[in-house]
Amino acid sequence: MFRSKGRSWKTLLLTALVVVLTMSVLAGCGKKTDNNVVATYDGGEITQKEFDLEQRMVLALQPTMAQFVEMDDFRQYLVKQAIAYKYWENNADDKMKEEGKKKADEQYKAMKDANGADNVKQMLDAQKITEKEFQNYMTRIYTVMETQLKGITEDDVKKEFEASKEDYITASVRHILISLKDAEGKERSKEDALKLANEVKAKLDKGEDFATLAKQYSEDPGSKDDGGLYADTPVNQWVPQFKEAAMTLPLNKISDPVETDYGYHIIRVESRTEKTFADLTDAEKDTLKMSIASQKLDEFMSGDLEKNIIKKITLPKVEKKAENTDKGANSGNAGTEGNADKSGNSGNSSTSGANSEKNSK
C-alpha cells in the first residue's frame, strides 16, 4: 500500500513504455499555426502540429505528467525527445522497423484486452487522437527502442542485473499500521501513534496472534482483512523505510515500530527470496535490455543530439496566466490539496494505504 515516490519526468519519458504517455494540447501558449516549424535538426524538422500530437501522446496513458506540461524545460525536453524519435526511426533498418511494428501491435492488443477496447477508444477520443495516429506513434517508439537494443550483450544484461538486484527481491510481509489518522479520519499525533504501536507490539511479544491483531488494529485497508499480509511482493514497491525492514529483518522476528510517512508499522517478514541471474525469466531479461536501451537513448539525447544534430529550436514559451488576486475566489480551493493521499492519489483513501506501503518498503 505504501508505494515509493514517483520518478522524475525525465526518467518517465525515457522508459521503454514511454509510448503510453499522453495529454491535452496546452492552453495559454499563444497563437500557433500547425505547420509552423518549432525545431530543425540534421535530417528533418518538427512542426507545431507534430509537437502538439507528441504532447497528447504523452498524457492519455500517463495523466500524472499533466503537472509538468506548462513548464518550459519540460516542453524543451519533449521537443528534443520528438527529434530523437524521428531521427532514430529514420535510421532504423527494415528488420528493426518490422520488429518495432510487431511489438507495437502486440502492445496495443494487450492494452485493449486489459482495459477494454471501448475504454481505450474513449481515452484516445478524449485527447483527439485517432487509432491510426496512436498505432503509428507506438510503432515509432518500439522501432526506436529496437535501434537502441542493437549491440546489447549478455554481459551488459548481467551488469544491469547486478546494479538492480534489489528490484528482484520478493518478500511475504505481515504488518500492522498505526496511522497518523484514526479510523474516523481524525488527526493523531506521532506520540500517540507510537504509543499505540508499542502497545500492539507488547501484545505480540506476549504471543498474541499477529493476524488477529492486524484485523483489530491495523489501519491499512489494503492488508488488514488478510491479517496484515502482503504475500510474495517485490520489495522495491515499498517506501524506503518499509523496504529496508523487509530486506533486513530476520525472518519471523517482530520489529520495533518502523516509522514512515504513513505512521508506524510493526513488521514481521515471513519469507524472502533473492534471484540470481540464472533465475531470471526471458521477460525479465527483456526488461533489463529495455532499461539499458533507455539509458543509451538518454545518453544520446544529452550528448550527440544536443551537440551535433539539433540545429535550432524555436518552440514558443508558455505564456504565464495572470494570477487571480480575488481572495474569495481562491478560498474555495484552500482544502483541495489536503484531499490527496500521501501516496499521490487524490480521493482514493481506501486503496492509498495498501499501495503506499508497497512503495515504502
The full set of domain ranges for the chain reads 9-152+284-319, 170-273
pLDDT, residue 51, reads 93
- For the chain, strand residue ranges (E) read 37-41, 44-47, 170-179, 229-234, 258-260, 263-273, 310-313
Provide the pLDDT confidence category of residue 87 given band limits of 50, 70 and 90: very high
Provide the pLDDT confidence category of residue 303 given band limits of 50, 70 and 90: very high
Percent of the chain at pLDDT exceeding 90: 68
Residue 289 scores a pLDDT above 70: yes
Q: Look at the pTM and tell me if it is higher than 0.75.
A: no
- For 182-303, strand residue ranges (E) read 229-234, 258-260, 263-273
pLDDT, residue 67, reads 83
Provide the pLDDT confidence category of residue 7 given band limits of 50, 70 and 90: very low
The rounded distance, in Å, linking the Cα atoms of 256 and 202 is 10
Quick one: average pLDDT of 89-108?
96
For residue 358, the one-letter residue type is K
Q: Which of 13-17, 65-69, 247-251, 338-342 has the highest mean pLDDT?
A: 247-251
Tens digits of per-residue pLDDT, 174-222? Answer: 999 999 988 788 899 999 999 999 999 999 999 999 999 999 999 999 9
pLDDT, residue 359, reads 45
Quick one: average pLDDT of 93-122?
95
Provide the pLDDT confidence category of residue 62 given band limits of 50, 70 and 90: confident
Provide the pLDDT confidence category of residue 98 given band limits of 50, 70 and 90: very high
Quick one: average pLDDT of 137-152?
96
Quick one: average pLDDT of 74-88?
94
Do residues 144 and 89 lie in contact, with contact meaning Cβ atoms separated by under 8 Å? yes
pLDDT, residue 321, reads 60
Quick one: average pLDDT of 115-127?
92
Q: Which of 4-13, 85-94, 232-241 is the least confident region?
A: 4-13
Is pLDDT larger for residue 33 or for residue 102? 102
Do residues 82 and 48 lie in contact, with contact meaning Cβ atoms separated by under 8 Å? no
The rounded distance, in Å, linking the Cα atoms of 72 and 287 is 31
Residue 111 scores a pLDDT above 50: yes
Domain 170-273, architecture per CATH: Roll (3.10)
Residue 8 scores a pLDDT above 70: no
pLDDT, residue 3, reads 58
pLDDT, residue 170, reads 96
The rounded distance, in Å, linking the Cα atoms of 247 and 361 is 8
Estimate to the nearest angstrom the gap between the alpha carbon of 41 and the chain centroid: 30
Kindly report the average pLDDT of the chain as a whole number. 83
pLDDT, residue 340, reads 37
Rounded (5°) CA angle 214-220-221: 100
Residue 339 scores a pLDDT above 50: no
Q: Which of 42-56, 167-181, 210-224, 332-346 is the least confident region?
A: 332-346
Is pLDDT larger for residue 79 or for residue 317? 79
What are residue 260's DSSP bridge partners? 263
pLDDT, residue 142, reads 96
Location of C-alpha cell 500547425 = 34
pLDDT, residue 4, reads 52
Is pLDDT larger for residue 16 or for residue 231? 231
